[in-house]
Structure 1
Amino acid sequence: MTKILLSLHVLAAIVAIGPVTVAASMFPPAARRAAAALGETAGPSAVGTVALLHRICRVYSGIGLTVPVLGLATGAAMGVLGSGWLVTSIALTAAAAGILAAFVLPRQEELLDRLNGEQAVEHGNTVQLAMFTGIFNLLWATVTVLMIVRPGSTTGA
């Protein structure tokens, strides 16, 4: 059962978190391009791209909730819930989810609303969003490394 849970956990991380990190990273430059194209014939297409990236982030972040659920189930089955590397990974995952929910998705939505209303988008807003997105991605990269290296693990990895 442990192998099945671990496989599902890894698959969920790849399928759900991967698209969020890529789409979130693509959003700020796409929003800048869309803002520059407002009033031009390319404007609606550029705004459509930004809307699609936001939808990918929103939908896949919901699907991504399965990652920590399956991770906790796997950790319980393996008997490692008290391990330092896992506790740290849980804390970093919670921080990443918090940044996504509190800073990335709301700012994406705000920028998308401005673009849909053909209002100006300030460069500082996209830079700030890019910063939060980078922090989110860095946290996930750190969790991934901890899941592979597992400091103090007896598996020899």
Structure 2
Amino acid sequence: MAKLWLSLHVLVAIIAIGPIAVAASLFPRFARESPTGVAAFLHRTCRTYAIIGIAVPVFGIVTGARMGVLGDAWLVTSVVLTALAAGLLVLGILPVQRRVLAGGTGARLAMTTGLFNLLWAVVVVLMIVRPGSTTGA
């Protein structure tokens, strides 16, 4: 059963986080060029997939519980980094995108988005490497 949960966790992570990473990264460029068309679509994409992305940590926690690794440092670190990434998305990316679409400025939006993507990259590495793992990976 742990393999099923792990598969769901990875699948939802790819389907949900990938589009957010791409759309959020493209938003600043298209907001300058086309503040109402493509930029609005990219913002909707980020917002929609953020909701779907809630399933990623849910499936991850279920998977961790099934595998008996909830207390492992790599998983705790991953959870903290995931929470930071979610906070950046909800508090630092989506509101600024909304403000830019309303005619405001998006200072530091590209930097915030880059940090969001970096956090996810670190989480992926932690999920693959799993420091202290006995699987030999």
Among 109, 113, 126, the alignment partner of 1:129 is 109
Please tell me the residue identity of whatever aligns with 1:27: F
The match for 1:101 is 90
RMSD, aligned CA = 1.0
DSSP-derived class of the 1:154 partner = coil
Residue matched to 2:64: 75
Q: In the TM superposition, what are the counterparts of 1:4-153 in structure 2 within 5 Å?
A: 4-34=4-34, 47-114=36-103, 122=105, 125=106, 127-153=107-133
**Distance (whole Å) between structure 2 residues aligned to residue 10 and residue 91 of structure 1:** 18
Structure 1 residue ranges without an equivalent (≥5): 36-46, 115-120
Q: Which runs of 5+ in 2 are unaligned?
A: none
Give the drift of 1:81: 0.3
| TM-score normalised to structure 2 length | 0.97
Counterpart in 1 of 2:136?
156
What is the match of residue 42 of structure 1? Answer: none
2:23 and 2:134 map into 1 onto residues whose CA distance is 36
Q: Alpha-carbon deviation of 1:34?
A: 2.1
Letter aligned with residue 30 of structure 2: A
Shift of 1:138: 0.4
Distance 1:150 1:69 in 2: 19
Q: Distance in 1 between matches of 2:9 and 2:40?
A: 29
**Larger Rg over CA atoms:** 1
* Cα deviations by residue, 1:104-148 (Å, 9 ceiling, x for unpaired): 00000011111xxxxxx55xx2x5110110110000000000000
Number of residue pairs matched by the alignment: 137
Matches of 2:19 and 2:102, distance apart in 1: 22
Identical-residue share of aligned pairs (%) = 62
Q: Which runs of 4+ in 1 moved over 4 A?
A: none
Classify the secondary structure of the residue corresponding to 2:40. Answer: helix
SS in structure 1 of the partner of residue 124 of structure 2 = helix
Amino acid at match of 2:43: H
